[in-house]
């Protein structure tokens, strides 16, 4: 199986369902899909546990995205991500969109952690 995984496959985008799970490229599936399944199963134990793990996952995942997109801003800026339909923005602006979107994700994730701890 490992022999069939190439860079082309690894860096290709996933479908919209996986993106909702914060799995953006197929390479993310290797470790994040089993983690997301386990987090989903944690809801069978308790809502509090599920919310805590979901919030922790969202927070850590989006913190990583913030770091990634900040680092992209200081590179050669050749990579053009999906621009959310803002076709008139340059790559630098698109990176900032992703960074600020990730900040929102961190806040949502931490809110879920807080809710799980407060209940």
Task: Determine the average pLDDT of the residues in 50-75.
Answer: 93
Contacts of 59 (CB under 8 A, 6+ apart): 105, 106, 109, 110, 113
Matching residue, tokens 């799980």: 116
pLDDT at 4: 82
Q: What are the domain boundaries of the chain?
A: 2-118
pTM given for the model = 0.81
**CA–CA gap between residue 60 and residue 78 (Å, rounded):** 26
Task: Determine the average pLDDT of the residues in 42-67.
Answer: 95
Distances (CA, A) of 46 to 55, 60, 82, 108: 14, 21, 37, 20
pLDDT at 1: 65
pLDDT at 17: 97
């Amino acid at each position: 199986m490992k022999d069939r995984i190439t860079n082309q496959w690894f860096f290709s985008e996933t479908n919209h369902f996986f993106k909702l799970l914060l799995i953006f490229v197929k390479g993310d599936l290797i470790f994040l899909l089993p983690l997301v399944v386990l987090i989903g199963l944690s809801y069978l134990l308790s809502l509090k546990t599920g919310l805590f793990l979901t919030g922790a996952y969202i927070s850590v995942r989006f913190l990583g995205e913030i770091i990634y997109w900040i680092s992209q801003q200081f590179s050669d800026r050749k990579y053009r991500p999906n621009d959310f339909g803002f076709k008139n923005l340059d790559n630098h602006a698109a990176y900032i969109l992703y960074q600020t979107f990730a900040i929102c994700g961190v806040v949502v994730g931490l809110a879920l952690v807080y809710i799980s701890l407060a209940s």
